[in-house]
Amino acid sequence: MRGESDLLALIAAQPERMRLLRAVRDFGPAGAWVAAGFVRNAVWDVLHGHAESTPLSDVDVLYFAADCLVPEADLEWERRLWDACPDVPWSVRNQARMHLRNGDAPYRDCGEAMRHWPEVCTAVALRLQGERLELLAPLGIDDLLDLRVRPTERFRAKPEIYRERLAAKNWLARWPKLRIEHL
């Protein structure tokens, strides 16, 4: 896997992931993205030669609506997606309000919010525009494709949270080729 076109082809060839992207396109917030483990795990599974996809603990859906910052709106989107796909653990978050939880200045869009996530390799998202896949990777995809796990600049200042997350995720148990930067 060498770049964006390979990543998009990988996802396009996975019927289950495409089904979920269609559900978000059709029943989720306008312009929403599906992010994090949804993309990351698919890439890591292929690069490790796993025949079976790693089950997702949740499906992270991002959107940006600065005019509606109440958490209840996210829950309503989750309910709509659960109605469409009740077998999926949806997690919908308006990135326009995540700065409040993170103690940051307001974000301008989903891409800027993703720059404040814990790991560079996790800050990737996809969506369908019609039937065309779009990639959002504000920190690039090199770390993801190179099996490199390192903190974003924001999380270099939060080493304890980064370490706790690495321990909780225990990624090396499933993907032993990962190169993890420890702080």
pLDDT value of position 183: 85
Structure tokens at 170: 């225990």
Give the separation between CA 91 and CA 34, rounded to whole angstroms.
10
Digits of tens for pLDDT over the chain (183 positions)?
899 999 999 999 999 999 999 999 999 999 999 999 999 999 999 999 999 999 999 999 999 999 999 999 999 999 999 999 999 999 999 999 999 888 899 999 999 999 999 999 999 999 999 999 999 999 999 999 999 999 999 999 999 999 999 999 999 999 999 999 998
| Matching residue, tokens 């289950």 | 16
Contact at 8 Å (CB) between 60 and 34? yes
pLDDT value of position 29: 98
Give the separation between CA 171 and CA 151, rounded to whole angstroms.
14
pLDDT value of position 123: 98
Output the CA torsion sign for 174, 13, 28, 134: positive
4-180 CATH pick, 3.40.1000, 2.60.40, 3.30.460, 1.10.720: 3.30.460
